Amino acid sequence: MAEQINRYKKITEYSNDEIDKVNEIVKYSLYYPYFHISPFNGLMNDPNGLFYKDGYFYIHYQNHPMRAIHGLKYWYLVKTKDFVHYIDCGYSNSPELKEENHGCFSGSAYLENNQIKIIYTGNEKDENAIRTQHQIVGDLIDNKIVNKKVVVKHDNKISTEHIRDPKIIYANDKQYMIVGAQTLEKKGTIAVFEKVKDNWVFKSYIKLKQLKDPGYMWECPNIEKVDGMYVVMFSIQGVNNTDKYNLQNSSNVISIVCSDIDFENGDLIDEQPFEMFDHGQDLYATQTFWYEEKLLAISWVGTLDVEYPSDKDYWTGSLSIPVELNIKNNKLEKKPFNFFEKNILENDLKSEKTKLIKSLNLPARISLSTNENVIKIKNEKNEYICLEIKKDEVIFDRSKQSLKIKSNFGDFRYIKNNNKLKQVDIWIDNSIIEVFVDNQLLTSKFFVIGDLNLELQKEVELKTNKIKKISYTK
């Protein structure tokens, strides 16, 4: 008989022996990453409450404990000064209030009177399983979210029951809250609230002229001003697209650049066409935050409606490497965060002209410049993933990997790129590949088992680095 799983079982209802047993299985999973933050057990999804203060990067993430499934959501917190050595702070947010009895959903961090404040969504269901979602504010004190208070109760005149993932922004000397939402017509949007004295007043929905189909839900919204322009980013659900370059997953992250935003009416000024934030199969729920003068982003490496081979090992999901964002020529550019890069890479840079690296030692970073080439990461059984670089596009293929990923959204992904000479930067971890191609990004999970070789169709100058394994202390 199949195991009956209670998706809303609290972590406190598991014994220490049960937790230790599952943690041990996760620890020795063949697919567990070396340098990407991943759960100690259970499902990890959205990065939450990202913040930098007093030398520490605060990184919370959504976690459903003990099983690789969606269910009762907690927040887990790790902190780091260098992205190599982490402090494991444990669960920072647990369902306690009535308004969050079915999970602490996503949210963000901001500073108020030198206190880190956390704003997030409480997911409530009543005895008839009717859902409502509320916005809650708390204080991060001693690595726990305390003093929690509902600041925006669900209003069925503004949205359906789906309104979540709040973020605080400042513009025109005003404080706004942006929240992913579904309109009463069941279309995706961002709801904008303005803080007036101690109350949050609904002002507008963000309207996009360049996006013909808004889907049925927008999640994890970000609005930031960088390089004199605004970027609007969110995770969109329910859009079907036959264009092979765009919106190929069940849920996708997109970005729109504009010169200004009328928050009172929700209008974007000089709105540019939308772009894919990531072109791979497995990236979602991006959240931005600031480090000094740099705008950074971390995302969930994983997505909805997909089953991975790692699920049977009682874990799934990871966080992406931190990415630095800039706007150039009205486009959002992405590159690895240089502080992260400096700390995580071993001091062993090798440069050689070759078309083969035998026994590729993971994890590794590989950089090259090329106009046309085929790059394969393969095992002795000729199982592989492939990056084909052509004159006008880049093609990623994971159809020949050892273990299949259960998905209805295909094994191929495409990046349109007309540059004659392409700069390619590949970060390879156990079961994760992140590819930067001329400031465009492709993130995917992969499962090629065994000793791996790197093969190229044409000989090029390859630069390779080993990558440090991250560690945790209590």
What is the distance of C-alpha 359 from the center of its chain?
30
User: How much is the average pLDDT of 245-266?
Assistant: 95
The torsion of the CA quartet 400, 404, 410, 414, rounded to 10 degrees, works out to -50
Percent of all residues in the chain with a pLDDT value above 90, rounded to a whole number: 93
Q: What is the pLDDT of residue 418?
A: 83
User: How many CA atoms within 13 Å lie on the side-chain side of 152?
Assistant: 28
pLDDT band at residue 1 under the 50/70/90 scheme: very low
CATH topology of domain 346-473: Jelly Rolls (2.60.120)
User: How much is the average pLDDT of 231-237?
Assistant: 98
What is the tens place of the pLDDT at every residue in 329-382?
999 999 999 999 999 999 888 999 999 998 898 899 999 999 899 999 999 999
Q: What is the pLDDT of residue 405?
A: 96
Looking at this protein, which amino acid is placed at residue 10? K
What is the tens place of the pLDDT at every residue in 16-26?
999 999 999 99
Residue 99 pLDDT exceeds 60? yes
Q: What is the pLDDT of residue 359?
A: 87
Mean pLDDT estimate for the chain = 96
Q: What angle do CA 197, 199, 203 make, to 5 degrees?
A: 105
- The better pLDDT of the pair 186, 3 is held by 186
* Closest by Cα among 399, 434, 396 to 417: 396
| Sheet hosting strand 104-112, strand order edge to edge | 104-112, 115-125, 131-141, 144-152
pLDDT band at residue 2 under the 50/70/90 scheme: very low
What is the tens place of the pLDDT at every residue in 152-170?
999 999 999 999 999 999 9
Cβ distance 25 to 67 under 8 Å? no
What is the distance of C-alpha 264 from the center of its chain?
29
Q: What is the pLDDT of residue 296?
A: 98
User: How much is the average pLDDT of 284-298?
Assistant: 98
- Give me the phi and psi of 463, to 5 degrees please: -110, 125
What is the tens place of the pLDDT at every residue in 187-227?
999 999 999 999 999 999 999 998 889 999 999 999 999 99
